[in-house]
Every structure is written in C-alpha cells, then in structure tokens.
Amino acid sequence: MRSKTTSFEIKNADLPLISLVIKTQNFSLLEQELGQRLDENPGFFNGEPAILDLMQLSTPEGETLDLMALCTLVKKHGLEPIALKTQDASWAAEGHKAGLFDASQFLPHGKSMGALDALKSIPVLEQEAPELPPPPAASPEPTPAAAVQEMVPAQATTLIITKPLRSGQRAYAKGGDLVVLAMVNPGAEVMADGHIHVYAPLRGRAIAGAKGDTSARIFTSCLEAELVSIAGIYRTSEVNIPKEFLGKGAQICLEGDKLVMQSLG
C-alpha cells in the first residue's frame, strides 16, 4: 500500500513557453534586431522562460555554436533560456553544459509557438484546469486575483467567459475556442488554441492559434487591444494595429506571415 504524501504533489505542467527561433549566427545582428523589436514593446519580456529553437540554423562543418554567448545575449533582453530545440547532437551536448534541457523530442519540427505565447506569467483560467498550471487552489472558491468569477463550458472544445477580465488575469481555452461576453481590460490576456470571440471591448492581449493553428481567427466587437497574435505572428496597438480598426468591430486572420484585419458589419 502506498503511503500518502502531504509535503508535495506531482502534476502536469503544460506550459505555453516562448520559442525563440534563431536564424543567424551573426550575434551582433541578432542583438541589434532584438533591441529594435523590443524597443517597440519595452518590458515585454521580464525573465520569461524560453526555448532556443535552432532548427533553422546550420553551422559550417568543423565550426561550433557558442551557446553560452547566445544565452547571455537573450538574457540581456529579458528572456531566460531553459531548453534547446536542435537536430545537431553536438549542439544538444553543448546546451546540456549550458544548463539547457533538450526539448527537441517534445516539440513539432518546423513549427514553434512563437514569442507571443509567453507574455507575463499571470494566473490562468483554463478549460481543463486540473491538467494545466498553475495548480488550482485547494479551496473550490477562486481567489479574486487567481481566476475569473464565472465560466460556462458550452461544449468540450469551447470555453465561455461571462465576467470581465481584469488586469493580471488570463483565460486559456486549451484545444478549442474561447468566447468572452465581457470586457477584456488592459493587462488581461485571452488565449485559445482555436478562435477567440470577444463580444465586448478587447483592450488587453488576444492570442489565437496558440499552438500553431494558422487558420485561427480573432473576432471582437470593439478592437482596442494592446496586442493581437495568431500562431505567433503579432501586432501591437502602439505600432502595427491600423488606426481605422481601433475602437470598431473587426476580425483578424493570418495570410502567410501577415496578420490581416477586416471590419465587421
């Protein structure tokens, strides 16, 4: 008979991590372009755990990749590398020396979740809460900062949120669509592996196709988002969301590597 443990629990940690796809060994260029991109969104990354994806990178025979220097570079910009994705056994070995876990066997080749999937680490409300982090509290009653007050699952693959999402809250529909019937306030985040429907002002962050579904779309009756993303391609309100769509009904889809916005109604 197994003894009951009270000092720990072992649970699944299905975390939506950043996947930083490295396409060059020119670290000076990489640092320059990272700086330019993150200057548009200061504080976007703040110690966020990241996977270094080297699947699109090749090294001439006889040369090595300085993974320690790469780790130092990305840490400088707020990312915390914890794992490596590569087909090169020698790079995997070097990554191990640098303290990186080899995640290649667990991630689909040729597709990464993109840098949007790990925004601020904030409380998560999920359709399958017992299976995903953070672990639910022992009490069945959620704390005000830890969960949305009310949710109604319409079916197995759809999550419906009926209360406003406050700053610091996240709703994640794993494996399906998310429907929000109330305001998504600045600093809040809605995420779904499928489509996102917001029938109220969308003022926080919306991430559809979180696991790479390029057919996912975002619909909202009032687009005022801080950030929108589909399958890792994103736009922000400060730079790339066209002004003609702000404050109006819109749908957002992905065509190739570009987000395309269309008016609703």
Kindly report, residue by residue over 34-54, the tens digit of the pLDDT. 887 766 555 566 677 888 888
Determine how many CB atoms are found less than 10 A away from the CB of residue 107: 17
**Are the beta carbons of 192 and 170 closer than 8 angstroms?**
no
- Choosing from 97, 117, 137, the residue where a domain stops is 117
* 135 within a domain of the structure (yes/no): no
Residue 236 lies in a domain: yes
Task: Give the highest mean pLDDT range of 23-37, 52-66, 125-139.
Answer: 23-37
Total of domains in the chain: 2
pLDDT tens-digit readout, 234-254: 877 665 677 788 889 999 999
Of the pLDDT bands very low, low, confident and very high (cuts 50, 70, 90), residue 206 is: very high
Is the pLDDT score of 187 beyond 50?
yes
Check residue 19 and give its pLDDT.
79
Q: Per-residue confidence at 62, pLDDT binned at 50, 70, 90?
A: low
pLDDT attached to residue 201: 94
**Structural domain boundaries, residue 63:** 18-117
Residues 93 and 168 placed together within one structural domain of the fold = no
CA distance 12 to 169: 21
Residue 71 has φ and ψ, to the nearest 5°, of -60, -45
- The pLDDT score that the predictor gives to residue 112 is 38
**What's the confidence (pLDDT) of residue 249?**
94
The enclosing H or E element of 177 equals strand 177-180
152 compared with 163, residue with greater pLDDT: 163
Same-domain check for residues 164 and 64? no
Residue 8 lies in a domain: no
d(CA 222, CA 34): 31
Give 224-230's long-range contacts (Cβ < 8 A, gap of 24+). 225/184, 226/186, 226/187, 227/41, 227/116, 227/119, 228/252, 228/259, 229/114, 229/116, 229/205, 230/254, 230/259
Q: pLDDT tens, 63-79?
A: 678 888 898 998 888 88
pLDDT on residue 104: 78
Q: Residue 6 domain-assigned?
A: no
Residues 110 and 184 both lie in one domain: no
Q: What is the mean pLDDT of residues 148-158?
A: 50
Output DSSP code: residue 173. E
Distance CA 175, CA 183 (A): 23
Predicted local confidence at residue 160, as pLDDT? 92
Question: Of 265 and 169, which is predicted with more confidence?
Answer: 169
| Residue pLDDT, tens place only, 76-103 | 888 889 989 888 888 888 888 888 888 8
Distance CA 209, CA 142 (A): 27
Note the pLDDT of residue 133.
41
CATH, residue 70: 3.30.70.260
Query: Is residue 124's pLDDT more than 70?
Result: no
> What secondary structure letter does DSSP report for 235?
E
CATH number, domain at 247?
2.160.20.70
Average pLDDT over the chain, rounded to an integer: 76
Identify whether 10 is part of a domain: no
